[in-house]
Chains A and B, each alone.
Chain A
């Protein structure tokens, strides 16, 4: 158990819909990352937050947005869903050390299926 929790575990929805994925980081970790993993694209970095502020952006679509709340949990919002958005979505957390980003602790993921 990494200490990172994600809900829900599975999500089945229809094209055009909007969903929210939730992540609670490990106790003490201020940084949260979101990743999308699909068979054809591999593990894609979406976005990173550090202590409530957006820190880095990866291949995140405009239809997707995220935020980190004062209690450090994070939510990833996916809207106008398309079939191609079906994937595993992982959240990870880490601490920032003087030597850069430390190891990331991954949650179990949310499997999104868009029908």
Chain B
């Protein structure tokens, strides 16, 4: 089945540690995104990539880094510079239909700080 796979489902980070969240898609979509969701809040864009080897900062990129070496993969690293990393992280890819960008999401990673 085609889809987006995020791993791990739950991740714990110690103070000062970098952690990497995995996102893989086999939908052949060019664009991929990382969002963060806090309880009772909407989705906030961290980074996005429209094509391989290119990515752009979203609204809350500080403390995060990404890479896009392959079309299928868009890993997110939460660095020690991100002082409040506890959140639900969602990866998405999209396809364009007409003028619309339709997003499809992975099942998410819940990151918590120990």
Q: Do A and B come from one complex?
A: no
